[in-house]
Structure 1
Amino acid sequence: MARNTSRLGCALAAFALLTPLAACGSGDDGGPPKLNLYQFPVENMQTVIDNCNQAAAGRYEIVYQVLPRAADDQRVQMVRRLAAEDDSMDILGLDVTWTQEFASADWIREFTGADKTEVEQGTLAGPLASATYEGKLFAAPNNTNVQLLWYRKSLVPAPPKTWDEMIQQALQLKSQGKPYRILTMGAQYEGLVVLFNTLVATAGGRVVSDDGKTAVMDAGATRALQQMRTLATAGVTSPSFSNQIEDDVRLAFQNGDGAFELNWPFVYPSMQNDAPEVAQDTGWARFPALDANTPSKVTIGGSNLAVSAFSKHPDLAFEAVKCLRNAANQKYLAINAGQPPSIESVYAEPEMAEAYPMRDAILDELKDAVPRPLTPAYQNVSTVVSERLSPPASIDPAADTGGLKQAIQDAIDSKGVLP
């Protein structure tokens, strides 16, 4: 990915001094207004920006301010700048879990009128839900993501449809002395929260109320806790399960250390490059359900684009956002950066077949995927949930339902935004 080092250096220097980026491209040099896009590193993103700048025909110029790779570091930079009302920030690339927090803090602008209609048109419901707060649209879904079940076809002729079926297949393979493990993320971090949230939604349960203000932890949440404990204690996970994150799981499956993997689609191109023989033996299917007659509901990932409340050029920023995430650019980044689109029609494009052979499975899950709890206090909630559920083998479903409910309510009731 090409970077403009002078602009990035200016951004970092300004951040270190905690001063605005007025000298880093406000348009004061007599050229078109410069719109600073703060976003995590995306391969080939500069090509999309160049295309949008060309389409703008001199009315504005988008400048890519590349944030760190780690989500926590990205958020810290943006929170500090926005808290200082930094007017050099125009377009914000947000993790899907941040929209409600930033909207409640009045740091991002609502999409209304024609802007709102254009963003909503053709966008999948799950990603769209992640961009709303109190019934209003505050961001434009850019890319999305869901986890799939990956399995070794030589070991598993037909993918399991439920967790019980998958565990039984793993135990049978284990008894035969074959690779058998179910590999997924169990470390004390966001990946564990994603697993819990998916199981809660699949069980028809809720963690928080619809308005995000009250902890719920109903019977569906208890069932999710039971399933997590069953997985962790059935003798089918890796000895490192309680310490594994996405890349650990990817590498373990590539190395032949499992029959099943529950992970994001980035694992497939990695297998093709690093372990082509494993890739040829790998199939994919919908994330397993809890009941054979009720499909799973999988947690969405991805990112949203928002317009800063402090931008000097909000109208141009809204226009630029619509260009950055339009169907053509989503298709380009899907093929060239591995980002699943949030616009449904892109999946039908012929060029997507080679880049996303698993696109039908992804789209099938996306049609009824679920966001993480929609609350401005999500960062607090995520922290307490991952702490309470780690290690998964120690989960006590009955006791943890009540304990988590109180801990989540305390997290929701905390004041202010995490630094």
Structure 2
Amino acid sequence: MAASVAVGIPLAACGSGHETGTINIYTNADAGAITKTASAACTKESGGKYKLKVHILPKAADDQRLQLARRLAGNDSGLDLMGLDVVWTAEFANAGWVEPVPDELAAKVQQTTLGGPLSSALWKTDDDSEKRLYAIPAWSNTQLLWYRPDLMKQYLGTTKAPTTWDEMLEATEKIRKAGGPSWIMEQGAQYEGLMVWFNSVLISAGGSVVDPDDATKQTLNDTPEHRAATLKALQILKSVATAPGHDPSITNADETAGRLGMESGKAAFQINWPFVFASMRSNAAAGDVPFFKEMTKYSSLLTSEPEDSALGEVNDLVRTKFEFAPYPGVSAGTPARSTIGGLNIGVASTSKQKALAFEAAECLTTPASQKIYAIDGGNPPVLKSLYDDKDFKAAYPMGDIIGEQLAAGRAATRPASPVYQSISTLVTATLSPVGSWDPESMVDKLADQVQKAIDGKGLIP
């Protein structure tokens, strides 16, 4: 679908060609600064073999994808490397827009990369005999459960985090009845965050949106077991969105709203990415978190941008009021599956210097580069070895949980499909406003919408 759409769009602002030895990489706006830092290091390391030039894509993911599609459809030879959202692999591979990773490099990547990020870069086109690597993972991400241990102690007599959604709902109800803050912050607005929430709970319940081995088949209601998993996931979403004392703005909430709800003191729990830890630390030190005035004694330290190794004492204090735990599961004793985010680096099929581009891509995903992305940019690494690195551990107190949730068997990837964007658009439109529907009837409605997306029908909700 994207290929046909892109062909019909004027190829405004496309490059006029390539310059030998200059490797152009296009990446998202949020990653611009750290990509420039890593690119400068790789350019220097190449000894004059190549020069990496960073181009910034728009901030919104849909706009990033559209600009890349325009350039690729227009055969832009000045496009060498692409920062690819983890959900684009199938679409770009099927369209012939991204080069498969050479076997020798692919083998190295597969040996050193955590299973979740690795799976996001694998795809099997009609010309492939089996799944193969179409991009190199650069960084990843996973959501955690964030909670107030002080509230837990005050109202429940424990600081142990709930391990399931049901336990969390039970805890918030007890806190609410006792007069405490009871919101559970989640991403319930009609956008990709809602897809991430549904997908995580669905896979944790034993279900999936599409068949992992056949993207032409939806698996929301194709078997009794899959129907039961979908129903359970929908029941959980509805329970969170409609519980007594729920966040009244959950149907419009995104990651920032979740962070602010927690920092304002209105929430007991939050599902969010690791960036919220640094936010709580800095905002509490600035005096902007009403329940955490103890942090203000570190205001001068944090405004001086200290090294992560100097933050041990500060982080310990943060965790007395803002703690983290693994993503909540569906069933007690069964680890949850948290949907991953992140970015992969692919070599464009339009590049006139593919071999050199792959050399640059390999440099941009080395341990040294990934430490830049992680420590300077807040994007967890994909290399297994870095989770034992002392600098990473100092910057990420929650690093062990992140590593566990990115491993094979624990990480959840969004549906691997060439039409993922259509699937996500229809799923989030169907689920919105979140919790306003009957879970039983929603199972079939949702399955019908996913099949329409797969079949190329009803793409405008």
Is TM-score (shorter-chain normalized) higher than 0.5? yes
Instruction: Give the aligned partner of residue 155 of structure 1.
Output: 151
Mapping 1:42-81, distance limit 5 Å: 42=31, 43-81=33-71
Aligned residue type for 2:99: R
Is structure 2 residue 273 aligned with structure 1 residue 264?
yes
Shift of residue 66 of structure 1?
0.9
Q: 1:36 to 1:262 in 2, by over 3 A?
A: same
Task: Provide the aligned length of Structure 1 versus Structure 2.
Answer: 397
Aligned residue type for 2:415: P
Mapping 1:76-91, distance limit 5 Å: 76-91=66-81
Match of 2:411 among 357, 369, 388: 369
Q: 1:19 to 1:392 in 2, by over 3 A?
A: closer
SS in 1 for 2:405: helix
Is structure 2 residue 201 aligned with structure 1 residue 199?
yes
The CA RMSD over aligned residues, in Å, is: 1.7
SS in 2 for 1:309: coil
SS in 2 for 1:214: strand
Q: Deviations over 1:30-68 (max 9, x none)?
A: xxx111100013233222101100111111111000112
Mapping 1:327-346, distance limit 5 Å: 327-346=367-386
In 2, are the aligned partners of 1:35 and 1:61 still within 8 Å (CA)? yes
Shift of residue 250 of structure 1?
0.8
Instruction: Give the aligned partner of residue 174 of structure 2.
Output: 172
SS in 2 for 1:185: coil
In 2, are the aligned partners of 1:109 and 1:309 still within 8 Å (CA)? yes
% identical equivalent positions = 40
Provide the C-alpha distance between the structure 2 equivalents of 1:282 and 1:16, rounded to a whole number of angstroms: 49
Instruction: Give the aligned partner of residue 436 of structure 2.
Output: 394
SS in 2 for 1:320: helix
Q: Deviations over 1:111-133 (max 9, x none)?
A: 13212112222101111111011
Instruction: Give the aligned partner of residue 39 of structure 1.
Output: 27
Provide the C-alpha distance between the structure 2 equivalents of 1:258 and 1:388, rounded to a whole number of angstroms: 27
Q: Deviations over 1:394-413 (max 9, x none)?
A: 13222111111111111011
Instruction: Give the aligned partner of residue 385 of structure 1.
Output: 427
SS in 2 for 1:159: coil
Structure 2 stretches of 5 or more lacking a match?
1-8, 125-130, 153-158, 221-225, 286-291, 296-317
Shift of residue 20 of structure 1?
3.9
Mapping 1:15-414, distance limit 5 Å: 18=12, 20-22=14-16, 26-27=19-20, 33-41=21-29, 42=31, 43-134=33-124, 135-156=131-152, 157-210=159-212, 211-217=214-220, 218=226, 219-276=228-285, 277=292, 279-280=318-319, 281-367=321-407, 368-414=410-456
Instruction: Give the aligned partner of residue 11 of structure 1.
Output: none
In 2, are the aligned partners of 1:20 and 1:87 still within 8 Å (CA)? no
SS in 2 for 1:299: strand
Q: Deviations over 1:206-244 (max 9, x none)?
A: 111122111110221221111111111222421000000
Provide the C-alpha distance between the structure 1 equivalents of 2:405 and 2:123, rounded to a whole number of angstroms: 23
Shift of residue 18 of structure 1?
2.4
Shift of residue 19 of structure 1?
5.5
Structure 1 stretches of 5 or more lacking a match?
1-14, 28-32
Provide the C-alpha distance between the structure 2 equivalents of 1:194 and 1:47, rounded to a whole number of angstroms: 30
